[in-house]
Every structure is written in structure tokens, then in C-alpha cells.
Structure 1
Amino acid sequence: MTQTRTPRLERGRSALGPALALVHTGRAPTRAVLTAELGVTRATAGAVAAELEALGLIQVDARPAAPAGSQGRPSHRLAIAPDGPVVLAAQIHADGFRAALVGLGGRMVATAPGCMTVPADPAHIIDAVVEAGAGLLRETGRRCLGAGLAVPSAVAEPDGTALNPLHLSWPAGAPVRALFVEALAKSGVHGPDGSPVSGVAGNDVNLAALAEHRHGAGRGAQHLLCVATGHRGVGGALVLDGRLHTGSSGLALEVGHLTVNPAGLPCHCGSRGCLDVETDPLAFLTAAGREPGPEVSLLQQSRDLLRSEYADPTVRAAADLIVDRLGLGLAGLVNILNPDRVVLGGLHRELLDADPERLRAVVADRSLWGRSGSVPILAASLDHNSLVGAAEAAWQPVLDDPLATLG
């Protein structure tokens, strides 16, 4: 039997996606590291890097300056192309929307926030956020390779429908992905070949977890649990072995509906005392005796209160109450999921920063592994991580096969 060998060119092409992912996540800053990570020869790694540079995705510095006192010629340095293509990222929340252009590496190129009352028809606000993103593309002249949308709802697959937008007036089952794709076509958001770009949609906390795992506080974790409260409600997500765990139909990790106060507030889901209503910004403002105002979002009002009046005994007591309830929920999740890291976002990040030891003590006291395993609980490190996560979802086809997308 004649043994066939895979030609070097074919091997190099199959390595383009993995190589781009390594540079994208900062795990291959030099060609030497890329060679080792891919397990290929220096020649193949050099060819792969050159091809990605020719596609306009990365830049290769063949003459990097050597660190003082080092010996030998330093390896070629690899970086994201500063003027490379972008994707359009969009986020809708209870107080409006934000659009952004995001490059490889999770780098935000331009943003356009918009505040509006979210209408009952999701098409109106999806059209508005896409048009804002299209305006950014016109202003910057950047190539667009895809688009991603983050929404405050579980998104059922394979249909791309918002199953339970509890804090919006949208109907259950709103076809958000189809509406997003239609809006992209209407706004003239086209790819390099002139056809409308593809659009993907996902739950905002799922996408935030993906962003934190690749570029933020979750980088390097094998099993990452992310819990966050944004403008309203609480969400959770789990990254297992580098992949987002969404369950059989996209609905996993609805942690907002864990009961942490059986005699507590009625929840939109029909239960009582859920994390969703016991630990979000409205719960904090209410516990602190503050009447929410319409000027800025509930999340921003909560942040401002924590930062400026934390010494007030009433505010401190409210923060402690929210932390204790959050800790109960986290302890249960740690017992069930056994993550090696927990990342908190939104108001929960602010509460952790205000008193890190209290939350960690509650989790340690009530979880099997919180005390003995010392699960790190960290604050999310990315601003607008749901937007960055929406961009990650849009970048995924390029990361999977750069040549098919751009070649």
C-alpha cells in the first residue's frame, strides 16, 4: 500500500484557523511560540503567518528589537493588524442599545451608544442599533466580516428566537436573529464580496463569558462560571474546556431563577425570591431606600451610589444584603458545577470590589469546595464584555477558516 503524505501547503492551510485563534487571544506573541503551539516546523509556521498577514489579519515584525542583555536573534513578533477588518457588534438592554466595531483581539475600534425606550416590537430597536453600527462603518471605512447581537434573553437554537425577554416588552419567541439579518441587509452592511454579512445572536451573559474567557479575567480557566447583573435581572454562563456550554437548545445556565430568598420578591418567572429580583440593580437601590430616577440606567445609578455613598450605613447594609444573597446562589452553583474560576460582571463586579472578603466568605461557608478548593472569585475585567462577546461570535467563522472567509 502506498502511503500518502499531506502536502505542506495543505497542512499550512489547515493551520490558518488555529494560528489566527492563538494570535487573536494573545497566546502566540511570536513565531517561535506559534511554531510550538501548532506543533509544526518553523517553515510551516512562517508560511502560515505570512498568509494571515497577506489576508490583512495580522502583522509580522521580522526585525523586533532584542531585550537588553539577551543573546541570539529574537523571534518574529506577531500582532493583530491595526487597520484590519472588523465585525459589527450590537447589544440591546433594558435601557437602550450600544453598537460597536470590534477588531481581532477584542479591540474596540468605535462605539455608538443609544438610549431609547425599548418598544414592544423588537424590529424597531434592532433596526436602530444596526443603523448605528452601519454609521460607524461608513465613518471609519473599515471592512466588515460579520455581525453579532447580544440580547437580555435566552436565545433558543436552532431558530435564534428570544425565548424569555423578561425585562423587555417583547413577545416570547421573538425571532431576533432573523430580524437582525434583515436589518443588516436593509442598512447595507456588506462583506468584502458585496453580499450582506452574516448575523448571529445570543444571550448577553453567555457572550460576556466568552469574551472574558478569551480576553479578560477568565483567560486560562478550564471551567469558567460567569454570573452578572446588568441593567435588570441576573444571568449566568459556563465555559467548559474553552467552549461555551449552552445546553441542547441554547437554554442552559438560567441562574437568575435560583431561589435565594423563599419569602422574597415575586419574580417575572412566576416564582419568588430569585437571584433575578433579589440581587439586581433595582433590588440594591430599593434596599438602600433610593427611588430610581429616569436620568441614567439603574446599573449606573447603583454604581454611583456604591462609589459615592458606601460609607452610609444604609447603603452599606443594602450592599451586604445583596452580597449575602448572591453568595448563597454562587455557593450552590459551585457545588453543582465545580468551576476552577468564577467571574462576576455588572453590579456584582462592583459589589465584589467594594467588599471582596464578605462575598468570598459567604461562598466558602456554604459550598462544599469553596473553602477547601479556594475557587477564585474575580471581577470581570472587560468593559462592554457582552459587546466584545457578540463580536467573538461574529469572528468565529473567520477563526474557523480564514481562507474560506477572505480567500
Structure 2
Amino acid sequence: MNGKATTTRTRLERGRSALGPALELVHTGRAPTRAVLTAELGVTRATAGAVAAELEALGLIRVDSRPGAAAGSQGRPSHRLSVDDTGPVVLAAQVHADGFRAALVGLGGRIVATAPGCVTVQADPAQVLGEVVDAGAELLRRSGRRCVGAGLAVPSAVAEPEGTALNPLHLAWPAGAPVREIFAGRVSAAGITGPAFTGNDVNLAALAEHRHGAGRGAQHLLCVATGHRGVGGALVLDGRLHSGSSGLALEVGHLTVNPEGRPCHCGSRGCLDVETDPLAFLTAAGRNPGPEVSLLQRARDLLREEYGDPSVRAAAEELIDRLGLGLAGLVNILNPDRIILGGLHRELLDADPDRLRAVVADRSLWGRSGGVPILACTLDHNSLVGAAELAWQPVLDDPLGALA
């Protein structure tokens, strides 16, 4: 084989190995132009161009070869890169105590379509997951889009490698329910193509925020959130979820923040799980939770609309202090470079950011040395987007292989 042919083959091999990293850079918005892509990949301009062209041919990205120059700029502007908003999608689903939701999500974390959320979750996981997959299948039928996988977020620790929901406490599902097996079976039976994945809802929210939201750019990202009931946590290290030896890491809801506090499902007392969730807030404010709307929505409305009420403000301050105590302990153990808060915790941060940050700084070693940024999650439906990230990962790892 002559030298020219060898060089061409080598360039092709390098280009193909760069397809996944290049797609992830465009997917997460870190490579908006071909020039940035070239620099990030550490390849020649020609190789970056070939990689972008291949991803465009696969229907994954778009290359604008004639972008308008910015005012006052000199020289020819670099080709602009963006995800193809008419390309493939994945089915994403989320189940929580107050219902479920199905959506189609494209690259870039863009929600393409959603089905109306169900407000009643039955005690049989097979029935619920069948209904949510049926809703997703109808979305796919109406969209006519190609589906390359499916992801499910559940409010429970998910054991690996079995994919079982160990503690779906607020769903009335049996402990150890084989949710991944059930979900994958329903997806296959519905004729939906691609692999199916399942994960904990807060883990997936953290993954989505790291790639598309408030966590972008963080190396050691800690996410703590409360949804409709309970508290969850997640840690993203260098772009990957830290899930521990069997998927059960960061069960932060069972940190004790009030030793004489409420009994917790785990057998202890005063855990974050029962001291800083919506039910705890409503109870501390002297409000009847009521059955009319979700606990999360009722707590949010109370905090936003009646914060001037002394009982509401006192309840908020009580939860902020306990949340800050828990975060301080996590800062001491994990040394994150950023903390993001979701659910009701985001609302508590917005209500009195100085108080929360002061508690964390005062009660943590590393907080005193300069402070850890504490930000609110920014994505709507971040657990849903995170479930989609699970389904997109095989494509990000090997675009050619996954789409063949």
C-alpha cells in the first residue's frame, strides 16, 4: 500500500474514532463552530471537517457553511454546528408519586413532544410502565420520527446490574420491583427500537443539568433535590455519574439533620428525607397538605405567594437551616466545586439565598475557605431529559455502530 493510501486510511480511522466525542461536544453545546470542534478534538481542520460531515450525513447535526459574520469581525467565519432538530429522538419517561409523563427528546436535550401526564399511579409497576410506554408510542406514531432508544426515571434507588427499584416508597410499588426488565419488555412489545435504560430520578436530573443546565462546566457537581416526597442526591464526576459499586451511592436523604426530628422510613429520625421535603414544609407552616394538588406544587405556591406570612417564613427558615446543615456535611465529604438544588430546594434557595449559603459556609471546612457556588437547577423536566441522556449515550459513544 502506498504512502498516500496509508495516510488516507489513518485519517479515516482517526475521524471515525472522533465521531462520538465530536457528537457529544455538539450535543452539549461545547462546540458551536468547526473551529472550536477542531481545537477540542485536537485534530486537523480537515479531519474535523470530515467528522462534522459524517455526523451530518447520519442526520445527527447540521453544518452551516455560510454563517453570517459578527459585526466588526474579520476573516471568514467558521462553519457553525448545531444538532439536527429533525433527526432521531429517544423516548423518555418519568414516574413519580403524582403521576407519570412521556416525551420525545432530541439531541441537545430538546424536548420535541410530551404526552399529558397521568395523575394516578397504580400499585402495579407493570401496568404503570405499560401505560407510559403506550403514551410514548403514540407520540412516536404521530411524529413519524426515528427512535433510537428509551430511558425511564423512577423515584427510587436502582440497583445495578439488576435494574431493580429497591425503595419506591412513595409509589406503593413492591421493593425490588424489576423496573428495567418490565420497561424494556414494554418498549420492545410496543415495537419501539433501540435499547431501554432505567435510573434514579435525581441521578438523571443531575446528568441533564451537567450537560445542558446549571451544572455545565463543573468537574465535581453535587445535586440535591426534593420532588413530590423525599430527598435525593447525585454526584457527577468529569461528566459521568458516580453511582457506587451497585448503583446506590449518594442516598443523601438519610443524612441526619435533626436528631430529635420526625421518624424516617429508614428507621432513623430527623433525616433530610423527612425534614426538608414538601410535606415537612407544609407541616412546619401549619398547613393541611390536602389531596387536591401535588405536595410539591402546594409547597411551591405557599412559598411564592405567602412568604410574608410569619408562619410560612419561619417554616422556610427552619428548612433552609436543616438543608444547609446537610449540604455542609456533604461538602466536607465530597468537596464539590458546585452544588445545584432542584424541586422545593430550588425555591428555598430563591427565597433566602444568603441564609442558605451562610449556613453551608459556617458549618463546612471547605465552605469557609472560599465558598462553594450554590445554584438553582435551570432545566424544566430535568429528570425526563436525564432519562433521555441514558438512551442517547450509546449513540454518543459510537454513532456509526448505534445507528447501523
Q: Structure 2: how far apart are the matches of 1:68 and 1:115? A: 49
Q: Structure 2: how far apart are the matches of 1:153 and 1:317? A: 31
Are 1:70 and 2:67 matched, yes or no?
no
Residue in structure 2 matched with residue 188 of structure 1 by the alignment:
191
Q: Structure 2: how far apart are the matches of 1:343 and 1:207? A: 13
Are 1:249 and 2:252 matched, yes or no?
no
Are 1:159 and 2:157 matched, yes or no?
no
Q: Structure 2: how far apart are the matches of 1:181 and 1:25? A: 27
Are 1:45 and 2:41 matched, yes or no?
no
- How far residue 296 of structure 1 moved from its aligned partner, in angstroms, is 1.7
- The secondary structure found in structure 2 opposite 1:266 is coil
- The secondary structure found in structure 1 opposite 2:223 is strand
- How far residue 373 of structure 1 moved from its aligned partner, in angstroms, is 2.7
Residue in structure 1 matched with residue 34 of structure 2 by the alignment:
31
- How far residue 39 of structure 1 moved from its aligned partner, in angstroms, is 0.7
Amino acid of the residue matched to residue 360 of structure 2?
V
Q: Structure 2: how far apart are the matches of 1:277 and 1:270? A: 12
Amino acid of the residue matched to residue 129 of structure 1?
V
Q: Structure 1: how far apart are the matches of 2:309 and 2:114? A: 35
- How far residue 173 of structure 1 moved from its aligned partner, in angstroms, is 0.8
Residue in structure 2 matched with residue 224 of structure 1 by the alignment:
221
Q: Spell out, residue by residue over 1:24-60, the C-alpha distance to the aligned partner (whole angstroms, 9 max, x if none).
A: 0000000011011111111111110000000000000
Amino acid of the residue matched to residue 238 of structure 2?
D
Q: Spell out, residue by residue over 1:194-238, the C-alpha distance to the aligned partner (whole angstroms, 9 max, x if none).
A: xxx210000000000000110110000000000000011000000
Q: Structure 1: how far apart are the matches of 2:238 and 2:301? A: 37
Structure 2 unaligned spans of 5+ = none
- The secondary structure found in structure 2 opposite 1:282 is helix
- RMSD of aligned Cα (Å): 1.4
Residue in structure 2 matched with residue 258 of structure 1 by the alignment:
255
Residue in structure 1 matched with residue 356 of structure 2 by the alignment:
359
- Of 183, 207, 210, the residue aligned with 1:210 is 207
- Of 96, 105, 108, the residue aligned with 1:105 is 108
Are 1:148 and 2:151 matched, yes or no?
yes
Residue in structure 2 matched with residue 382 of structure 1 by the alignment:
379
Residue in structure 2 matched with residue 193 of structure 1 by the alignment:
none
Amino acid of the residue matched to residue 370 of structure 1?
G
Residue in structure 1 matched with residue 332 of structure 2 by the alignment:
335
Identity of aligned residues (%): 83
Q: Structure 2: how far apart are the matches of 1:53 and 1:228? A: 37
- The secondary structure found in structure 2 opposite 1:267 is coil
- How far residue 115 of structure 1 moved from its aligned partner, in angstroms, is 2.8
Q: Structure 1: how far apart are the matches of 2:337 and 2:116? A: 34
- The secondary structure found in structure 1 opposite 2:149 is strand
Task: Identify which range, 117-126 or 304-313, moves more after superposition.
Answer: 117-126
Matched positions, count? 400
Residue in structure 2 matched with residue 125 of structure 1 by the alignment:
128
Q: Structure 2: how far apart are the matches of 1:328 and 1:141? A: 50
Q: Structure 2: how far apart are the matches of 1:113 and 1:286? A: 30
Task: Identify which range, 109-118 or 48-57, moves more after superposition.
Answer: 109-118
Q: How does 1:169-180 map to 2 (within 5 A)?
A: 169-180=172-183
Residue in structure 2 matched with residue 194 of structure 1 by the alignment:
none
Q: Structure 1: how far apart are the matches of 2:135 and 2:237? A: 34
- How far residue 113 of structure 1 moved from its aligned partner, in angstroms, is 3.4
- How far residue 83 of structure 1 moved from its aligned partner, in angstroms, is 0.7
Amino acid of the residue matched to residue 204 of structure 1?
D
Amino acid of the residue matched to residue 21 of structure 1?
E
- How far residue 119 of structure 1 moved from its aligned partner, in angstroms, is 2.0
Residue in structure 2 matched with residue 115 of structure 1 by the alignment:
118
- The secondary structure found in structure 2 opposite 1:113 is coil
- Of 14, 22, 25, the residue aligned with 1:22 is 25
- How far residue 105 of structure 1 moved from its aligned partner, in angstroms, is 0.5
Q: Structure 2: how far apart are the matches of 1:230 and 1:48? A: 41
Amino acid of the residue matched to residue 116 of structure 1?
V
Name segments (4+ residues, structure 1) moved above 4 Å. 3-6
Q: Structure 2: how far apart are the matches of 1:206 and 1:355? A: 26
Amino acid of the residue matched to residue 179 of structure 1?
I
Q: Structure 1: how far apart are the matches of 2:122 and 2:267? A: 23
- How far residue 355 of structure 1 moved from its aligned partner, in angstroms, is 0.8
Residue in structure 2 matched with residue 398 of structure 1 by the alignment:
395
